[in-house]
Amino acid sequence: MRYKKIKFENGLRLVTCPMSEMRSITIGIWVGVGGRHEEDALSGVSHFLEHMLFKGTQKRTAAQISQAIEGVGGSMNAFTAEESTCFYVKVMSDHFNQAIDVLADMFHSPSFLPKDIDRERRVILEEFRMNIDQPSHYVFDLLRNVMWPRHPLGRMLIGTEKTISNIQRKNLIDFKERNYTAENIVVAIAGRMDEKKVIDLVRKKFLFLQKSGFPGYLRVKDEQKTSQGEILHKKTEQTHFCIGVRALERDHPDRFALRVLNAILGENMSSRLFQEIREKLGLSYDINSSVERFSDTGVLIVSGGVDIRHLPQAIEKTLKELEKIKKKMVPKRELEMAKEYCVGQMSLAVEKTSSQMVYIGESELSSGEILSIDEMIRRVRKVTAEDIQRVSKELFVNHRLNLAVIGPVDRKERIKNLFHLN
């Protein structure tokens, strides 16, 4: 794939990935602000603002915004993360002009009508309550609070009932003016395109953005001394648990070794955790591992849902798999299969314009470096069994170990006593 980067006069960055064989084009507007950039009193304002940009502008109602995209067979959405907010549209390439016009309009002149804010506040409060009522979802928020207490990364992205209720129109406008600035935005576009036309239109439509700096954030201080956790008693049919291991920041040199390690551990049905805990022992329908990386820290998460009677065994067996991969070198065949899985997943993902947009947009926003697919494959295939063991020994230690559990747990001490690595 051929990536091109352009920086306009006002500091706005445009990254493109022409894919002439496609019929579609995906446009993403990435803003370098998210949950960790918020003040405590305004927790959830990034997410609230994301919602409000869809609620109408000076020339379009909320219905007209969605109709302008869906009426030509396209789709649009947005998401808020810890370090970024992204708005995106996917349409047939013939409708690029209309799609970029709608996105620019949402950024340029959102109406922020008081009645719309109050209505959306009720919607977001319902979303908050829905998340709390879903233990398979809420357990991840509980884990983050265990890992990063009294830190923005430990808060729920959506905010709290109190902060959501207290966010006012002025807060939304001020937050947007401070953070939705040219230097803090990346426009990422992938698909069939006339490159000159794309460059000219993006420059024209986003010229209104003011040049400015970047939002600051509180860096993570790793002060954990031993394994730790929290168990939330709740009457549920299934008990949900997350084991979080403090891991590597986004641009760490060992990130490709961690990617392969995660594939070996629990990313798919061939993984050790799936084979041991589901296939061999039948303890869980769903058991997997994933990796989250931020600018200054990261986490490897093992998550699953089990009958309360099987919770101690599931945790114990998970920890044994961590110890095993740390103490014994990964066999050559298993390592090669895991690397080929990673290579295949990366290669398949870049066949979609939406996946390419996410990759180039997030990469440019977070690090300013967009590796080619060939370079990523080269780095994955370069990972050795020694790399896997070295990273495992660094990560799988008690002072990096965290636990969150939600379910009808009565014997909490039993769980806490077994939650450690040898």
The catalytic position among 50, 82, 83, 362 is 50
Biggest CA–CA distance in the chain, Å, is 65
**279 HSE (CA, 13 A, CB side):** 11
- Spatial CB neighbours of 85, under 8 Å, sequence gap ≥ 6: 30, 31, 33, 34, 46, 49, 50, 78, 79
- Indicate if 50 belongs to the active site: yes
Q: Which residues are catalytic?
A: 50
